[in-house]
Each structure stands twice: as C-alpha cells, then as structure tokens.
Copies of this chain bind each other. A is one copy, B any other.
Amino acid sequence: MSGSKCTRLSGALVKQVLDSVDCVLFDCDGVIWRGDQAVPGAPQVINLLKEKGKKVFFVTNNSTKTSKMYVHKLSTLGFKASEGEVFGTAYCSAMYLKTVCGLEGKVYLIGSDAMRDELEAVGIQQTGVGPDHVSGKPSDWANVPLDPDVKAVVVGFDEHFSFMKVNRAMQYLTQPGCLFVGTNRDTRLPLEGGKAVPGTGCLLQAVEMAAQRQAQTVGKPNHFMFDCVASKFDVDPARCLMVGDRLDTDIMLGSNCGLKTLLTLTGVSTVAEAEAHQKSGCAERQGMVPDYYVESIADLLPALQG
C-alpha cells in the first residue's frame, strides 16, 4: 500500500477514486481559488460532484471570514454552496470553545471581525477587535487592567496584531485556568504571483513564547476540523476524500482522520516535497504523503463529464 502512494490521478483511476467516496472535502485557497480568482474548471468540478450526489465541504484554516462570507465568495466565483458546508477556523474555533471546552466566560480575542461574529453567533462574549496602541511604560504594561470575566485567549489572523496585544494575552494566560486556543499554525498566507504575508502561526508563536504555554490549535492538521464536519453530517471517513495544496495541513489532516488524500499543485506544496517525505523513512512524515496528486482539480473534470 505504501508503495502505491503519491500516484498521479488520471485516466480511468479518476473515476475509480471518485466512485470509492461519498464525500469530498476541499481546502479553498490554492485549491478552488487563488486570491480572488477561481481556479479554472473548479466551479464545474464542484457543481458536478454535487449533481452526482457527493457531499462537498469547504475546510479552510483562514480565520478572516465567517461561514456566511465564504458562501458569498463561493457564489460570486460560480460555486454552489450553502453555509452548513463551510468550515473555516473562525467558525470552528467558536464551536471548539462552545462544545469541547464548554467555555463559561469571555474571550480575549486576537483576531478578526469574522472571529468576533462567529463567537457571538454561539453566544460567547469577547473583548473586542481592532488596534491596541501603546500607552505608558513597562510597569504599566505589566499591570494592564484585566477583565475578570475573561477565561480564554484566542489567537487568529489579526492585521492589528501588536506588542500590546501580545502583552495583554500573556497577562491573561499567566492567570490560573485561562484557556489558550489558536486557529492554526500556518507560517505564511500565500497570495498571487508567489507573494505572501505573515500567517497566524507567527502571531501565535509570539504569544506562546511570551506566555510560556502551548495553545491548542483548532485548524488543520488537527482532527477537530473533520470532527466538526462529522458531528453535523453522517460521513464515513474511509469514504471521504480530502483535497488540498498543503502537505503539512491538508494532507496531514486527511492522514490523521483516515481519509483518502489528494494533493493539487495549484498552491503551496510540490510533488518533490511529497516524495521527500515518502523516502524519509520518518513515521511522522509519512502522514504528509498524499494518496494521489493532480496538476489542478480541473483534472477531475473529464471523469465527471463522461
């Protein structure tokens, strides 16, 4: 079985693999779109999968959009989608705090408007988003007023990330019993043309180092993202296909949850990287070897149109 991994998915094999699954989970950026453009052919692939009775889900580590915002973007780019099919880390973090942690108390939030909205949608209060500019001197920072109702620190992507936020998070996290949750550990947010900006992983790492504690992360490759799907829909992991462009998040999630895995080359990772993992002989790295790969998910189109 291990010898047959990282196989190019083409010809008759496409139909064979699609017939073996009831459910397909897609990462978004680098898979079905890049920036604000759909990957050519991707809307047809997804709409045809649905027409053929497959369950389709969108599973993304990006924490800057609510499920509602994702449905709007998906529709604009030609994908048929409904809110219940979208699992972003803004939504999943809120679900994690509500269902797994049973949080009773407020969240100190380093994150986006979308994270605030998803927390509020499940009835969790938070301390607000936006800039937190410097005032005072170190002794003032060490004694910043803390909200006694805060029982969790949550870190996601935040363009207003600042020293004062790291400090405030650290002061909360050194209090007994304060939960610590991160959306994901992606080091960079890739953009069009090989460009990128720093990812949530950089922000989370700074807070972890200050607090001298590790956060529990909700995003891929943590199995909680798949648990979220499985808790809402009747899915058999063995009959699910996870499609993604990153070996360390998407493919690893699939491996962690017993899903079939498909790497698409329209994003971050390469076949050479997958092969290096395969040849490493390192058990942990085997989880980053996909079962199959395609140049683009458009390669699935002929089998669906046939």
A residues near B, CB below 8 A? 35, 131, 133-134, 138-139, 141-143, 158-164, 166-167, 170, 187-189, 191-192, 195-199, 201-203, 205-207, 209-210, 212
Complex CA gap A141/B196 in Å reads: 9
State whether B206 touches A210 (Cβ < 8 A): no
Complex CA gap A134/B199 in Å reads: 15
Complex CA gap A266/B166 in Å reads: 26
Supposing A163-B158, A206-B203 touch, asked if A35 and B139 sit within 8 A by C-beta, the answer is: yes
Complex A-B, nearest 8 residue pairs according to Cβ-Cβ distance, in ascending order = A198-B210, A142-B195, A161-B163, A206-B206, A202-B206, A202-B209, A202-B210, A162-B162
Smallest beta-carbon distance A188→chain B, Å: 7
Known: A142-B197, A167-B197, A170-B196. 6 other contacts (CB 8 A): A139-B192, A159-B164, A160-B163, A161-B166, A166-B202, A205-B206
Query: What B residues does A209 contact at CB under 8 A?
Result: 187, 198, 201-202, 205
Complex CA gap A158/B197 in Å reads: 20
Query: What B residues does A201 contact at CB under 8 A?
Result: 209
Chosen A-B contacts, 8 in total, with CB atoms closer than 8 Å, are A141-B197, A160-B163, A161-B162, A162-B162, A163-B203, A166-B202, A170-B196, A187-B212
Supposing A139-B35, A142-B191 touch, asked if A166 and B210 sit within 8 A by C-beta, the answer is: no
Smallest beta-carbon distance A131→chain B, Å: 7
Query: What B residues does A141 contact at CB under 8 A?
Result: 159, 197
Query: What B residues does A142 contact at CB under 8 A?
Result: 191, 195-197
Query: What B residues does A196 contact at CB under 8 A?
Result: 142, 170
Complex CA gap A161/B188 in Å reads: 18
Residue of B nearest to A190 (CB): B142
Complex CA gap A210/B203 in Å reads: 9
State whether B191 touches A170 (Cβ < 8 A): no
State whether A163 touches B163 (Cβ < 8 A): no
Complex CA gap A197/B141 in Å reads: 7
Supposing A160-B134, A160-B163 touch, asked if A210 and B195 sit within 8 A by C-beta, the answer is: no
Residue of B nearest to A174 (CB): B196
Complex CA gap A188/B207 in Å reads: 11
